[in-house]
Structure 1
Amino acid sequence: MITPLASVLVNRLSGSRTIITRKMQTPPSLTYDQKLKIDDLAARLIESEEPVTLLVDGHEAELSEYIIKKLPAAKVVMDGGSLRASNIKLAAWTDYFVVSEHFARDYMGYRGLETEAEIKAALIELNKICRGDAFITLGEKGCAFLKSGMLQIVPAWLCNVVDTTGAGDVFHGAFTYGVHYSWHIDNIILFASLTAAISIEKKGVRESMPDLAIVHNSLNNYERNLTQYFGE
């Protein structure tokens, strides 16, 4: 069995990163014992009557789909990083379908997302394949979604970029936190993007993730990126 491995190269000048991965072509199937453990966990979560929020990313689609079906009342957030058949299949179970700019571009067959019309068209199509709402993360350009059919692009935060590794994971984790506590969607995106902005000002991933207090206390220390990136 090939051991999954990822090597990350960080550009010191821009903070951008290149990831070189080696992974199995297909993830291992769930075993009977693993399913029993998931069944037990799901039963205890249901018995607790506490709200449950799941964050999935499509890398282990069988596991994600299995636990989603076991927890039908759970809110489901999906990190749709890149376009894969497994991601499209899982989207049908997703309440918050948060995809990257690359995912949306490839799904639509665009060379890039260069206009608001292209972003809106992509969101309309992505909304058709999920059970909730679609969102497109645009890096420093913000995060886009539809509100009552109208395109909304929430600006990102200006920050000193050191290392963007893990920024997407931090964004999705913070987004899921807001979903779990039933925040308004505008506040969820602001919180998630600020958390990601703080994280990329340090090297690494785990050590760069800010805690909740730091994020709340940093709100007045950052400015919004109000650059107009997209034409109509």
Structure 2
Amino acid sequence: MDTPKITVVGSLNMDLVISLEVMPQIGETVHGDSIHYIPGGKGANQAVGCARLGADVTMIGAVGDDLFGKRILEEMEQYGLSQDGIFTLKNESTGIASIYHTKEDNSIAIVPGTNGKLTPEMVKSYRDVIAASDIVLLQLEIPMETVHESLRIARSSGVKTVLNPAPVNPLSPELLQLVDVITPNETEFEMLIGKKADRSDAELFEAIRTWESKFGNKLIVTRGKHGATHIIEGKLEHVTAPLVEVVDTTGAGDCFNAALSYGLAKQWEWKEILSFAVRAASISVTKFGAQGGMPTLGQITNSTD
């Protein structure tokens, strides 16, 4: 197959990453070690992840005409991503994510900015680009109506879609029935199905099976250092992650979704796709920064040696 074409519709943020030893509790002040200003946003991270693997990527999103917006566009260009699908909105602020980062985990607060102003009409103007794609990859840091319109265009064009439902929001049955693959983490999945799960294999199998039967899409639960879980050939399968030295978990989920979309676009078998995506995400956490940690195809391939 030729170079896969992936369209990412989603967010572009400036990440304000504060590194510290422990997370502050409510009402507590702690000392941080450092602060970094790093271009991010789930959409941009996933676009960079796809591009690093060698895909032909179109990013559809919006930034403001401020310093953060200019820096993000420069960074996207450095990764070989075209700015053609990124709208620069006058007198608007680029979205930001304030990230508290420790070695073990991270906590994130988002101010949408121009991400909240990406309209269905903007996406419609790239209908031909979406129609020519192998995969359309989306998240939920842009307006829901824009996500829905992107899915409608893709479905009407016969293009497969991957929805990373983060940050988790209520999703209508009409929207979900337009999705081909959905990739919640464990917490997001519990919120989507509306109940706390004990995460036993039997209950997880039944929850995934019920979901897939209801909405007609494939559901993959991402599980951090434990890899990912899905149903294949009527059986629950856990795809384990290799042991690595964790530096920064920010962007690991984005890396997983980028690698999964790449494998789908290449029309690999599910076993190969998920093994590839889990290895990619594991490599990503060994480096600092979401986009800076995105591995190349060669790095993932060599990790199996």
Q: Do they superpose with TM above 0.5?
A: yes
CA contact (8 A) 2:183 2:222 kept: yes
Residue 52 in 1 paired to residue 134 in 2?
A: yes
Equivalence map 1:1-232=2 (5 Å): 4-12=95-103, 14=104, 16-23=105-112, 27-28=116-117, 30=119, 32=121, 34=122, 37-42=125-130, 45=132, 52-60=134-142, 61-71=144-154, 72-86=157-171, 89-220=174-305
How much is the aligned-residue C-alpha RMSD, in angstroms?
2.4
Letter in 1 for 2:98: S
CA contact (8 A) 2:163 2:179 kept: yes
What is the CA-CA distance between 1:209 and the residue it aligns to? 0.9
Higher fraction of helix: 1
TM-score, length basis structure 1: 0.80
CA contact (8 A) 2:245 2:286 kept: yes
Deviates more, 1:80-89 or 1:142-151: 80-89
Q: Are residues 63 and 216 of structure 1, via their aligned partners in 2, closer, same or farther at CA, if it must alter by over 3 Å?
A: same
Q: Are residues 35 and 178 of structure 1, via their aligned partners in 2, closer, same or farther at CA, if it must alter by over 3 Å?
A: closer
What is the CA-CA distance between 1:212 and the residue it aligns to? 0.7
CA contact (8 A) 1:101 1:113 kept: no
Distance 1:29 1:169 in 2: 20
Distance 1:162 1:169 in 2: 16
- Equivalent residue of 2:126, what SS? helix
Higher fraction of strand: 2
Point out where structure 1 has 5 or more consecutive residues left out of the alignment. Answer: 46-50, 221-232
What is the CA-CA distance between 1:128 and the residue it aligns to? 3.3
Q: Are residues 216 and 88 of structure 1, via their aligned partners in 2, closer, same or farther at CA, if it must alter by over 3 Å?
A: farther
What is the CA-CA distance between 1:95 and the residue it aligns to? 1.2
Letter in 1 for 2:127: D
What is the CA-CA distance between 1:165 and the residue it aligns to? 0.3
What is the CA-CA distance between 1:29 and the residue it aligns to? 6.2
Q: Are residues 31 and 70 of structure 1, via their aligned partners in 2, closer, same or farther at CA, if it must alter by over 3 Å?
A: closer
Size of the aligned set, in residue pairs, is 210
Distance 1:121 1:129 in 2: 12
Letter in 2 for 1:171: F
Letter in 2 for 1:41: V
CA-to-partner distance for each residue in 1:132-168, whole Å, 9 max, x for gaps? 2111111112211112322111112211111000000
CA contact (8 A) 2:248 2:285 kept: yes
TM-score, length basis structure 2: 0.62
Q: Are residues 19 and 87 of structure 1, via their aligned partners in 2, closer, same or farther at CA, if it must alter by over 3 Å?
A: farther
Distance 1:106 1:68 in 2: 22
Q: Are residues 58 and 18 of structure 1, via their aligned partners in 2, closer, same or farther at CA, if it must alter by over 3 Å?
A: closer
CA-to-partner distance for each residue in 1:103-133, whole Å, 9 max, x for gaps? 2222334434431122112212321343321
CA-to-partner distance for each residue in 1:39-71, whole Å, 9 max, x for gaps? 34346x2xxxxx521111133332333233333
Distance 1:135 1:147 in 2: 10
CA contact (8 A) 1:6 1:20 kept: yes
What is the CA-CA distance between 1:93 and the residue it aligns to? 1.0
